Structure 1
Amino acid sequence: MNKNILEEILIKVKTNSISVDEGIELALKEEKGFDDLGFAKIDYDRERRVGYPEVIYCEGKTSVQIRDIVQNMLIRKEKFNILGTRAKKEDYVEVLKICKEAKYDEISRTITINRNIQKTESFIAIVTAGTSDIKVAEEAAITCEIFGNKVERVYDVGVAGIHRLFNKLELIRQAKVIIVIAGMEGALVSVIGGLVNKPIIAVPTSIGYGTNFNGITPLLTMLNSCSSGITVVNIDNGFGAAYSASMINKL
């Protein structure tokens, strides 16, 4: 069990904030490492193990389930930020009933509760080929920000108008890590990979006509890039790219 948490429990018992029985119950829960809500087990020990708290993947969950998970995390993580990805507006409305601090972003489909954000000095550049890729980019950007990173957005600089990229190239080169997001054929990643000396995390998107195959084409393009220093995540996975970028940025 975490020493600081155990100390907090003992202080609460000592000051009569909670009873001895309540203190024992809390200590037993802490030793277990998760809260069992029946439909979900909230892993509140995750931040100690891996550096970041559990994130709520809202797709496939009911709005009431999401609300109950948030409520549990608010009790457990009163000083920390909460992020829900792939959320619907009705999910947010339900969460708002228990937390007026919650915010919803329709583009990224994220629910955020910001309580303690301290931004890094170094920044993550998030670059998109087209405007249609912004929904994935914003999922990445908001994830990076709630994890405490400074973010610079560079949108709509794809290869069809390559001069737009060169106009922002110096800014991109100053980033500690770069997330590049592209649909269609996904060529932007290879171009940037040949122009910078920073790690690149590539995100293929499902944006494109028939032979884009819902993101398979840019995925294969990125995996087969002849530019070095590129790591590829799953199709439309802005969250996954942001998680890895945050870890690199904070090294």
Structure 2
Amino acid sequence: MIASDRTREFEDQGYVLQRGFLSADEIEALREALREAQQVAAESDVLDRKGMTFKHNLWKASPKLREFITSPKVVGFLCDIVGPDLWVRWDQTIEKQPGGAAFPWHQDNGYNGLLDMHFQLWIALTPMTIDNGGLWLQPGSHKLGKVTHESIGSHVYNPGDESKEVLVPAEPGDALLFSSFMLHKTNENVTEDQTRMAYVIEYMRLGDVDPFIEAPYLIAARGGEPAAALVPRQPGSRSLRNQRKYLVPRVHRSLSHLRHRLPTKLGGKSGS
């Protein structure tokens, strides 16, 4: 598939699946780099939730991962589809153990609070099947833009149009690029002995920002070429448009954090 076809597919469907993106040797090298990074990951960057384990910001602990996520192969694939100028918002490994719970329909913007579309590069480290909690998408749902979500326990949820759901089975080395506005979910891992694993890298266009994460920031591509530059400021942070756009969300987040800390500081108890 040529680049223009992939671009049209992404614009129409909201995702592009590249089978065999990484060779067997490349996927094993990636697994090894991830294992090394996970050993030194900060405790605050590890989340366990009902049989699912998320370890994020691994690129900050690993020169090998920084090299991989800004490599000509990865950058070339991305830039051909979504544009020439990108930075890395974050990365994470996702492990769903046998019995791991379902993760309901959502957009990633529903969790991170961002207003702009960004891009998820999902690389299968193990087979992803209907039984072990593989990924489901609603093709075309990215055209809805940012949607509202309701809170259900620790999750946010928007069912979209479930009649459009499509399972995306994958083998190790397959790569799925999809819009953060894409509604997606994973079901329970009903197997007895299969842990489903994936590595996900989130990229943003250089003109877009995430005001909620800390430096340093990793530039992945400029002008369609790998950049691999660590910088102290997000390139779009000086934009008045971005500053105004996130003024209210930043105030709301600050007040929310204050409300969560205040009872403890006053010696009281939160909750009922």
Length-normalised TM-score, structure 2:
0.22
More strand as a share of residues: 2
The TM-score normalised by the length of structure 1 is: 0.23
Q: Which has the larger radius of gyration?
A: 1
Q: More helix by proportion, 1 or 2?
A: 1
* Bigger relative contact order, structure 1 or 2 (CA pairs below 8 A, ≥6 apart): 2
